[in-house]
Amino acid sequence: MSRDARYDILFEPLKIGPVETPNRFYQVPHCNGMGLLRPRMLAEMRGVKAEGGWGVVCTEYCSIHPSSDDLPHPYGALWNAADIKAHALVTEKVHAHGALAGVELWAGGAGAPNLLTREVAMSVDSLPNRGGHPFQTRSMDKKDIQNLRRWHRDAALRAREAGFDIVYVYATHGYLFSQFLSPVNNQRTDEYGGSLENRVRLVREVIEETKEAVGDTCAVAVRMAADDGNGSMAAPSIGERREMFELLAELPDLWDINIHDYEQEMGVSRFVPEGSLEQAVSYVKSVTSKPVVSVGRFTSPDAMVSQIRRGVLDLVGAARPSIADPFLPRKIQEGRLDEIRECIGCNICYTGDSLSVPIRCTQNPTMGEEWRRGWHPEKVPARAEDASVLVIGGGPAGLEATRVLGQRGYQVLLAEARTELGGRVSQESRLPGLAEWIRVRDYRVQQIQVMPNVDVYLDSHMNAADAVAAGTQHIVIATGATWRGDGFGRYHEKPCDDLGPDSSIFTPEDVFAGRLPAGHVLLFDDDFYYLGGVIAEHLVGNGCQVTYVTTENMVCAWGVQTDEQYQAQQRLIELGVDIVTGHGLDEFDGKTASISCYYTEREREIKADALMLVTARKPEDSLYHEIVAADSAGQRVTKLGDCDAPGIIASAVYEGHRYARELGAEIGITTRQDRLFD
């Protein structure tokens, strides 16, 4: 297929200072849990994006000096020659596919804990560490500022030696340069503080010195927020920011624009729609002649074209869409829009950085496994044998296993007991804010539907005899899990006998089936992720009064890892939900719930008409055990996803993908372990 002419503008080259990007697809700097700890994994991942058509591929934040150290969160570094060697791996991979490589030089200020290097962090003033660590920065004197400028220049020179084409001055996200720009943080009385011109001085100097050092061969980009952080998503406050941009407008070769509110910039789809930054960033092009790039979790090529044609942006910035589908640009170019794996905005990718492990993605299970396992997002090995596979269960694990098995050339039978595919994805995507999650199902169904070697059977309830009688060489059980109604979970490590009557106890399974409680509902969240809060919101929307109880100290506690916890708790407060943290559920008799403080064990009672339990799930693995017990000769039986071990949707997709990709491979497959350079 050929490219739709409507999208031609996305494939026009653009000059950025002394370099030129082949198109308008720009992978902005993003964290990945690899950084300086896993250089080969990082290089292969970035290289795959370049192969997929991204015209510019940038690093994560890259430290200029040991005084900016963020471990245990892996970052890049350009401190010495060994770092040059590591980054050269990235630039070589990116250049091999005709893309430009960019590096985001980072000075952390109050955002750098320096737990590894034990260097004293420095900033515009003596500021508390922004990660909550019990120490402060040193207030920089003139010598410190001179050193900083020299460190940044030296890092830029190393970046050029490593082969980078674009070098950043990183003046946003609350790090050191943005602390100098801030009228709140910067209370200095010397030439670097006070007036707007003085607060901009350090950034100006660093831009000029970076251009002097590498500007003959490298473009210099500045990443900066367009707003002052005092407004809202609907009504951003620009304040003095416009004047700030006017002072610096023509100095860099490229402006990479974001906003102050990271929860909006990186917001989950539940709270933040595609293209949400436009109101804040749209004025920037009116004050500079230089190219402008920004993000918006763009997955629609029509939205991308609109941003460029209306003069909002020159380049379409993306982090999460490039993670969900590294081949998004190429698919648009080749007219394969129905093959795009659209980002669902769940932010599982962000957990790689927050948990200090390699990046992962719900939609793209190969993300982070390009080097370690040799996985490619678009290519799978041909089938290892002339065999057929029966997949029982069409949820995320079963669908992904079916898709990849079909792509490999196996004959696949997919049997689903319900009238629709998708499993938990179909159920959860009907809840408030989760509509985009249906993309997990839809992408896979679209791919499966055009495979002549895959047959799908809905409303097919299979028992062990049916499965064996199908006569396939392999049987996959992906029948999912169901939410428990007996209180078992983290707080009650065995079923709780003091909950009843059954008619007053509800679980997410009831919500999925459309059976909702009425009146005052006590929701006990022992799961700690998104579903408890989402169901609370759903109940309020259906007229219930809700009291949310959790043993954690906040709503959606694990949502800290996906950067949605703040918004999740904010939403429940706005809805009038009574939130009780640090308490466990002990008893419920249909009228009164007894809860106790997790710390003091003091008890209290709450009147309630119904109890909603979001605690733990029970794997639906009985069919697996029945088939194994039947001991049918020659048939290999495997269970996958929640049926094997309940987890997040990303885990189910990954397990389905891994099974299908590795079927028929030799036993003893090992993953390669990345090592640092000496």
> Domain of 176: which CATH number?
3.20.20.70
In a domain, 496, yes or no: yes
Q: What pLDDT is attached to residue 674?
A: 80
Say if residue 67 is in the same domain as residue 186. yes
Say if residue 262 is in the same domain as residue 221. yes
Give the residue from 564, 588, 618 where a domain finishes: 618
Alpha carbons 562 and 352: distance in angstroms, whole number: 9
Put residue 77 in one of left, alpha, beta given phi > 0 → left and psi -120 to 50 → alpha. Answer: beta
Say if residue 339 is in the same domain as residue 349. yes
Asked if 259 contacts 275 with a C-beta cutoff of 8 angstroms, the reply is no
Residue given tokens 């792509």 in the structure block: 407
pLDDT at 295 over 70: yes
In a domain, 373, yes or no: no
Asked if 673 contacts 41 with a C-beta cutoff of 8 angstroms, the reply is no
State whether residue 461 is helix, strand or coil: coil
For residues 298-309, average pLDDT: 97
Q: pLDDT per residue over 123-157, tens digit each? A: 999 999 999 999 999 999 999 999 999 999 999 99
Say if residue 247 is in the same domain as residue 303. yes
Count how many domains the chain has.
3
Say if residue 344 is in the same domain as residue 464. no
Distance, C-alpha 393 to centroid of its chain: 27
Q: How confident is the model at residue 233 (pLDDT cuts 50, 70, 90)?
A: confident
In a domain, 383, yes or no: no
Q: How confident is the model at residue 676 (pLDDT cuts 50, 70, 90)?
A: low
DSSP per-residue codes, 398-431: HHHHHHHHHHHT-EEEEE-SSSSS-THHHHHTTS
> Domain of 446: which CATH number?
3.40.50.720
Q: What pLDDT is attached to residue 232?
A: 86
Give every strand in the sheet of 610-614, ordered side by side. 505-506, 610-614, 520-525, 545-550, 578-580
Please identify every residue annotated as catalytic.
Answer: 175
In a domain, 316, yes or no: yes
Residue type at position 501? P
Burial class (CB in 10 A: 0-12, 13-18, 19+), 641: buried
Q: What pLDDT is attached to residue 667?
A: 52
DSSP per-residue codes, 637-669: EEE-GGGTS---HHHHHHHHHHHHHHTTSPS--
pLDDT at 589 over 90: yes
Q: What pLDDT is attached to residue 677?
A: 52
Alpha carbons 260 and 263: distance in angstroms, whole number: 9
Q: How confident is the model at residue 248 (pLDDT cuts 50, 70, 90)?
A: very high
Residue type at position 466? D
In a domain, 669, yes or no: no
Residue type at position 316? V
DSSP per-residue codes, 538-564: HHHHTT-EEEEEESSSSTTGGGGTTT-
Predicted TM-score (pTM) of this structure: 0.96
Say if residue 323 is in the same domain as residue 453. no
Say if residue 136 is in the same domain as residue 269. yes
Give the residue from 310, 338, 354 where a domain finishes: 354
Alpha carbons 409 and 405: distance in angstroms, whole number: 6
Q: Sign of the CA dihedral 593, 597, 601, 603? A: negative
Say if residue 452 is in the same domain as residue 492. no
Domain that holds residue 535: 484-618
At residue 231, φ and ψ (nearest 5 deg) are: -100, -150
In a domain, 670, yes or no: no
Residue given tokens 């729609």 in the structure block: 273
Say if residue 104 is in the same domain as residue 253. yes
Say if residue 631 is in the same domain as residue 502. no
Q: pLDDT per residue over 519-566, tens digit each? A: 999 999 999 999 999 999 999 999 999 999 999 999 999 999 999 999
Q: pLDDT per residue over 181-199, tens digit each? A: 999 999 999 999 999 999 9
Say if residue 135 is in the same domain as residue 171. yes
Tell me the CB-side half-sphere exposure of residue 128, using CA atoms within 13 A: 5
Q: What share of the chain is helix, strand, coil (3-state, %, to 5)?
A: 35, 20, 45
Say if residue 582 is in the same domain as residue 443. no
Q: pLDDT per residue over 23-48, tens digit each? A: 999 999 999 999 999 999 999 999 99
In a domain, 362, yes or no: no
Residue given tokens 């060697």 in the structure block: 85
> Domain of 545: which CATH number?
3.50.50.60
